Structure 1
């Protein structure tokens, strides 16, 4: 009977993925070597190959793990049975929170998915489409019966246009963190600039 892998093995794999994602995000997939990944992890190259057979397998795991977590978030939200604006606001908050801990992985997904082989790229894109569909469904339900119900998909893409590029300007030491940005994104998207409220903590700091 085969033995299951230990928790430490999985923890080591996750550490390697985090370090690789940071390098890929900063330097680009093509410009990063397995030697550099091993050095960043504090591992020998031989040990690194024990966990991942090559640089490509790192890229696949980073991209697939990231979109899998986003797709699981959609499934989890559907189980909560929230309706209307409450559902969309909760979805926005959850996905912004998820991005807070996955900025490097999201940059890799955005910029390096072109290096994936067709089957791997298709699998990742299919999961991305599930995420988009989850948001579009929430929007369509809010607009049900209106002449513009069919705008749910374009509006969803505009929403993701706001969220997807936050990693390019959000700073960990900045006045606004991802916890604060979730409600701001929801207010802006649902009500316009006039509905955006200054977070309490940011107001105190000012």
Structure 2
């Protein structure tokens, strides 16, 4: 009979993924060794291999896990059956909030996916395309005429351009929060600069 997993296996595995994402994000995938990941996790290298067979497996789980969470957010918001504008506002807010807690994984996804093998990279990119398509679909509902001009996907990519790189400049201890920026992104996307509401400073 196969031996079951030890208590705390899943928790330790998530810890390894988190620490590896931090290292990959700060040093780069190629600049990080399995020895360094093991040391950051307080594990021996053989113990680390008990959870992940190699560094590539770590990269796959970090990148795909991040996209899976984004797909889950899309599903949760879609299930609410909101009006199109409310639907898109919720997607924007939820994605900004998700990125706030997944900055390392997001950096790994955007910068290190090129190191994946073809099959893993294509599978993860297909998941990303589904996320983009979900946003584009809501934009088409708000402005049906946009579909005729084939602008729904380009507009979606412009929207992601505002969201995706926020972690590179928004300081965690600054006066602006991810929550307030989510509102600003939505305002800016829907109404342009005149529609931006200023955050409450109280």
TM-score using structure 2 length: 0.95
Superposed CA offset, 1:48-85 (max 9, x none): 11111111110000001000111111122211111221
Q: Which moved more, 1:2-11 or 1:171-180?
A: 2-11
Gaps of 5+ in 1: none
Separation in 2 of the partners of 1:178 and 1:14? 24
5+ residue gaps, structure 2, are none
Q: Report how many residues are paired.
A: 202
CA distance in 2: counterparts of 1:93 and 1:154, whole angstroms: 20
Match of 1:62 in 2: 62
Contact 1:140 1:149 in 2 (8 A): no
Equivalent position of 2:31 in the other structure: 31
SS at match of 1:150: coil
C-alpha offsets along residues 103-154 of structure 1, whole Å, 9 cap, x if unaligned? 0000000000000000000010000001001100010000024676631111
CA distance in 1, matches of 2:149, 2:143: 5
Cα distance 1:152–1:41, how it changes in 2: closer, same or farther (>3 A)?
Answer: same
Kept after mapping to 1: 8 A contact 2:146/2:152: no
Supply the distance in 1 between the matched residues of 2:147 and 2:99 (Cα, whole angstroms). 33
CA 1:161/1:42 → structure 2, altered by over 3 Å: closer, same or farther? Answer: same
Cα distance in 2 between the residues matched to 1:127 and 1:76: 16
Q: What RMSD, in angstroms, separates the aligned Cα atoms of the two structures?
A: 1.6
Q: Give the Å deviation of 1:180.
A: 1.4
Alignment of 1:39-118 (within 5 A): 39-118=39-118
Distance 1:148 1:164 in 2: 27
Shift of 1:96: 0.6
> Structure 1 residues 6 and 101, CA, compared in 2 at 3 Å: closer, same or farther?
farther
Q: Which moved more, 1:170-179 or 1:134-143?
A: 170-179
Q: Partners of 1:54 and 1:145 in 2: how far apart? A: 49
In structure 1, what is the Cα distance between the partners aligned to 2:7 and 2:185? Answer: 37
CA distance in 1, matches of 2:135, 2:147: 19
Contact in 1 for aligned 2:140/2:147 (Cα 8 Å) = no
SS at match of 1:32: coil
Q: How far has the Cα of 1:5 moved from its partner?
A: 3.7
Distance 1:146 1:111, change over 3 A: closer
Q: What is the match of residue 16 of structure 1?
A: 16
The SS at the match of 1:75 is helix
